[in-house]
Amino acid sequence: MNPVKIGICGLGTVGKGTFDVLTRNGEEIAGRAGCNIVVSHIGARRGADISGVNVSTDIFAVADDPEIHILVELIGGTTVAKDLVLQAIANGKHIVTANKALIAEHGNEIFAAASEKGVSVAFEAAVAGGIPIIKAIREGLSANRIEWLAGIINGTGNFILTEMREKGRDFDDVLKEAQELGYAEADPTFDVEGIDAAHKLVILASIAFGIPLQFDKAYTEGITKISTEDVEYAEQLGYRIKHLGVARKNGKGVELRVHPTMIPEKRLIANVNGVMNAVLVKGDAVGPTLYYGAGAGAEPTASAVVADIVDVARTLSAEPKHRVPYLAFQNDAMNDTPILPIDEVETAYYLRMSAEDKPGVLSEVAQILSNAGISIEAIIQKEPAEGQDHVSLIILTSRAIEKNLDQATDSIEALDSIAGEVTRIRVESLAG
């Protein structure tokens, strides 16, 4: 099978990350794509010394390279990048890009050119870094009418707000650290004034509602006026301040806005902290869904870039069998790997139960867990609501084998002081 040859333009953070991921995971990626993906040309203005790869300091040489099937645009900006992409499209290349500004501001023109030439333009990495949110909306939620979406889609802004809330640090100090960590845009006003988030929101809204990209019509307000005092008051009221991008379709049209927003702290998305991103999408069939992950950084963004390369490569594959997902059992070495029954799986657990508001209930529950060899990591017990004699008792356990947990919850549910069933949610740190 012929390999798919790609040209990468831009060898900065994301370009290097993409090259590294493609190299490190080449075999897996080839299995999923149905063909080998070969980096055969790199355009880097400062040059690069990579053996076996043609390197040009003139990035347009990549767009003109007759060998290349896919041009991966990772130079950023909206001027040279736009010319590069249009030239590559004119030459019949498929495009993969991480450039949110390019797509948000010139996407309509680029898509029209691509459509005329019959080539793909893929831009998963342009929104929320490693979170496959474009694919989620376009593929996973394709049955739905999207009603609204709301996202923390700028890691730098979220990092600043989190540090202000958690550590009382001041704005400039935190921004400086975000720049040092490599999350902030080259011009950090794009982050703190909401321009970067607006670029991403406009793209999401376009995909969700099937509307053209209309960056110039988005309302954009930054976080520069948020003080630590606001953060503290919000906290006392039970809210968190988040810099949200909101797109909502109502009877009159589509709301498209980026601004600081107070969210009840109990919302999952309110607890998305630091540089992490999250997007809530409400579909009429599925209801609300939440997508969370790293919104920036070399390899998280490369993860999305490479996924797009694989997608585009799949559509190039002539043989239909290569259009189905790669399955691990195609690899003989994986054949003997057993599938574990769920009762042998080990995770930590979130347990929620309705407990009678009287002394001794907590110790009964704790004793049952202890007898099963399950330790308690955290407990929350809320005040009973007015007129209620039961309270929610929430327990976070250590890791436990599921069958042990099953036995413990059966015993807990049998207690007179516990009403109804114990709600159980498995908890994974996903750290390893």
| Alpha-carbon span 129 to 132, nearest angstrom | 8
Nearer to ligand HSE among residue 224 and residue 407 (C-beta): 224
Encoded one letter per residue, x for contact with ligand HSE by CB under 6 A and - for no contact, window 254-293 reads: ----------------------------------------
Residues 6+ apart with CB under 8 A from 132: 124, 291, 304, 307
Among 129, 194, 283, 300, binds ligand HSE (CB under 6 A): 129
How many chain residues bind ligand HSE (CB under 6 A)? 11
Interacting residues with ligand HSE between 323 and 352 (CB under 6 A): none
Q: What does DSSP assign to residue 389? A: S
Name the minimum Å distance from CB 99 to ligand HSE.
10
What are the CA-CA distances from residue 118 to residues 52, 114, 322, 377 (Å)?
30, 6, 21, 56
Q: Give the nearer residue to ligand HSE in terms of CB position, either 97 or 156.
A: 156
Total residue length of the chain = 432
Contact of 130 with 303, CB cutoff 8 Å:
yes
Query: Could you tell me which stretch among 38-46, 150-158, 328-336, 417-425 binds ligand HSE (CB under 6 A)?
Result: 150-158
- Determine which residue in the list 75, 184, 241, 281 makes contact with ligand HSE, applying CB under 6 A: 184
- Tokens 């990209």 sit on residue: 213
Indicate the residue among 102 and 391 with the shorter CB distance to ligand HSE: 102
The nearest distance, CB 116 to ligand HSE, in angstroms, is 29
Q: Which of residues 21-80 bind ligand HSE (CB under 6 A)?
A: none
Q: Is 200 an active-site residue?
A: yes
Dihedral sign, Cα of residue 333, residue 335, residue 337, residue 339: positive
Nearer to ligand HSE, 155 or 283 (CB): 155
CA 287/CA 283 separation, integer angstroms: 5
Distance CA 57, CA 368 (A): 68
Of 13 and 36, CB closest to ligand HSE: 13
Orientation angle between helical segments 402-413 and 361-371, nearest 10 degrees: 150
Contact (Cβ atoms closer than 8 angstroms) between residue 106 and residue 244: no
- Ordered DSSP codes for 6-63: EEEE--SHHHHHHHHHHHHTHHHHHHHHTS-EEEEEEE-TT----TTSEEESSTHHHH
Does position 193 bind ligand HSE by CB under 6 A? no
Provide the minimum distance between the beta carbon of 104 and ligand HSE in the complex, in angstroms, as a whole number. 12
Q: Kindly state whether residue 105 participates in binding ligand HSE, applying the rule CB under 6 A.
A: no
Q: Which of 40, 97, 99, 154 binds ligand HSE (CB under 6 A)?
A: 154
Catalytic residue among 82, 200, 242, 282: 200
Give the DSSP per-residue string, 220-255. E--STT--HHHHHHHHHTTEEEEEEEEEEE-SS-EE
> Is-contact 32 65, C-beta < 8 A?
no
155 binds ligand HSE (CB under 6 A): yes
- Pick from 99, 120, 156, 303 the residue near ligand HSE by CB under 6 A: 156
The correct pick among 73, 124, 185, 299 for binding ligand HSE (CB under 6 A) is: 185
Q: What string marks each residue from 196 to 225 as x (binds ligand HSE by CB under 6 A) or -?
A: x-----------------------------
Sheet holding 94-97, edge to edge: 54-56, 37-43, 4-9, 70-73, 94-97, 121-122
* CB closer to ligand HSE, 150 vs 393: 150
**Enzyme catalytic residues:** 200
What residue ranges bind ligand HSE (CB under 6 A)? 129, 154-156, 183-185, 191, 196, 295-296
